[in-house]
Amino acid sequence: MKDKVLRRRWGRAWQLGLVGMLMPLALGTTAQDLPLQAQVVPPAAEPMPVFPRPTDGRPEQRPPPSTAKPLPSSFDVREFEAMAQALVADQRVPGLAMAIVHNGRVLSARGYGITDVRAAEPVDAHTVFRLASLSKSFAGTIAGVLVSEGALRWDSKVVDYMPGLRLADPSAAQRVTVADVLSHRVGLPRHTYDRDIEAGTDYTTLVQRLSAANMACAPGDCYGYQNVAFSLVGDVVFATSGQFFSEAVSRRLFKPLGMNDASYGLEGIQGSPRWAKPHVRANRGWASLMPKPTYYRVAPAAGVNASISDMAQWLIAHTGHRPDVLPAPLLATLHSPIVGTPGEMRSRAGSWRRERLNAAGYGLGWRVYDYAGHRVVFHGGAVQGYRGVMAMLPERDFGMVVLWNSESSLPSGLMPTILDRALNLEHHRWLDVDIDDVLYAERVEDSTTPGAAASSAHARPH
């Protein structure tokens, strides 16, 4: 009871501190004289859930990595690598890649299984996967970089960059901000026109159809997850930077962060030296396909391709170790919840949400959770034949990501398993793997097979 009261108090303090935290990034180089209301991300009309306070007690700032709590002494990366290996045994899933980072270092970044059941090649650290909605974190981040440079504001009106934008409520289009787009607060019902994306309709046509979509609420007043409307940020980035969206992300994020395998679009993944084919269930096994171009057409929402080596660098940057590219105030803004998403706690996509989450919200391209009393920054993604999850624990300066090339839900249990170990929570069987037997077999092999230990060496930052 005492902990709940403290969390409520700190939650109120956090809400009050959000304005102070967001204001420095909202200010542009020529906007110093604007009123306070125009200098912050507009608050959500829905009541915000209570989230754990930052570990240093200052709700207005992100705690620096140097203050992070250590991982428990029992935390053993080999345990999770063995779990990943067990998942690809007998092709329970065809292929998988996993990265774990801590204190700015890559503890593990490896591939497991194969890229294609019809032409098997091993998945390695540079095998490229389709990221699906993990791409949204890149869209929020590139917009934030432009805000940091003073070229854009979170409260900039999208219609200023897209004068032809129309919504069913004529006045609504005039009010939608960049922050509304990136936090899914445009006011549309969730997944508006996703079926049309899957049917092959192009992005430009779908944007024109937004004028016919019923509004669920006024812009900024409610949450409704989007792919078409979210991708409006790509037009804003183009109008602001003069670069195509994918080019802006490549030049300002991929290249400076050393994400050398990353790309956008169907051509990007097919042009990769090694990439994982998507797999769907067939009979009692798996069948590989060619990737569908559909969701690539909404690139900001779902267009990125990347390797696990790339994603390790992405997490290192987002845990605060690349301030030359992503300054700490920007990270604090991106990772702060703007709108409550209580439906996440009732989601059927993983029992860990129902059992571990006390609060859920969405920031700017990232989800934010109260995970058993600890703040977790998260996103998941799925398109035909690909799945992925990534999560960070700011208080531990810790991050992890798992990518796999099938529609199986099995590997998703790796994330809560690893988070529980990092937080020293009571063990829960999130994953259908008898890990004790797997670890025993691995240790026996390592002690008897020449060179076996070298084959499991951990990747290091480039």
Q: How far apart are CA 87 and CA 102, in angstroms?
A: 24
Total-model pTM: 0.85
The reported pLDDT for the residue numbered 50 is 61
- Nearby residues of 444 by Cβ (< 8 Å), 6 or more positions away: none
Q: How far apart are CA 223 and CA 398, in angstroms?
A: 28
Sequential DSSP letters for 59-121:
TTSPPPGGGPPPPPTT--HHHHHHHHHHHHGGGSSSEEEEEEEETTEEEEEEEEEBS-SSS--
b/e map 322-333, b = 16+ CB within 10 Å: beeebbebbbbb
Angle at 461 between CA 333 and CA 335, to 5 degrees: 10
* Residue 1, burial from CB neighbour count under 10 angstroms (0-12, 13-18, 19+): exposed
Digits of tens for pLDDT over the chain (462 positions)?
434 433 443 343 333 334 333 433 333 322 222 222 223 344 344 455 666 554 333 334 455 666 789 999 999 999 999 999 999 998 999 999 999 999 999 999 999 999 999 999 999 999 999 999 999 999 999 999 999 999 999 999 999 999 999 999 989 999 999 999 999 999 999 999 999 999 999 999 999 999 999 999 999 999 999 999 999 999 999 999 999 999 999 999 999 999 999 999 999 999 999 999 999 999 889 999 999 999 999 999 999 999 999 999 999 999 999 999 999 999 999 999 999 999 888 876 668 999 999 999 999 999 999 999 999 999 999 999 999 999 999 999 999 999 999 999 999 999 999 999 999 999 889 998 755 544 434 443 444 333 333 323 333 222
Q: How far apart are CA 287 and CA 194, in angstroms?
A: 25
**SS3 call for 275:** strand
According to DSSP, the residues that pair with 273 across neighbouring strands are none
Contact 405, 411 (CB under 8 A): no
The strand ranges marked E within 276-363 are 279-282, 285-288, 304-307, 339-340, 357-362
* Residue 115, burial from CB neighbour count under 10 angstroms (0-12, 13-18, 19+): buried
The reported pLDDT for the residue numbered 384 is 97
Give me the residue label for tokens 């956008």. 264
The continuous run of DSSP H or E covering 388 comes out as: strand 386-393
Q: How far apart are CA 377 and CA 335, in angstroms?
A: 6
CATH topology of domain 77-430: Beta-lactamase (3.40.710)
The reported pLDDT for the residue numbered 283 is 87
Q: How far apart are CA 9 and CA 14, in angstroms?
A: 9
The reported pLDDT for the residue numbered 279 is 98
* Residue 454, burial from CB neighbour count under 10 angstroms (0-12, 13-18, 19+): exposed
- How is the beta sheet containing 128-130 ordered, strand by strand? 128-130, 304-307, 263-264
Residue 289 CA: distances (Å) to CA of 196, 265, 276, 445:
21, 16, 10, 35
The reported pLDDT for the residue numbered 351 is 87
Distance of CA 40 to the CA centre of its chain: 23
A 10 A CB-CB count for 118 gives 11
Sequential DSSP letters for 193-234:
THHHHHTT--HHHHHHHGGGSPPSSSTTSS----STTTTHHH
Contact 375, 319 (CB under 8 A): no
Q: Give residue 336's identity as a one-letter amino acid code.
A: S
Sequential DSSP letters for 152-168:
--TT-BGGGT-TT---S
According to DSSP, the residues that pair with 231 across neighbouring strands are none
**SS3 call for 433:** coil
Structure tokens at 4: 């709940």
The reported pLDDT for the residue numbered 305 is 98
Q: How far apart are CA 62 and CA 115, in angstroms?
A: 38
Q: How far apart are CA 326 and CA 317, in angstroms?
A: 7
The continuous run of DSSP H or E covering 369 comes out as: strand 367-371
What letter would DSSP give residue 44? Answer: P
The phi, psi pair for 154, rounded to 5°, reads -60, -30
Contact 194, 227 (CB under 8 A): yes
The reported pLDDT for the residue numbered 71 is 96
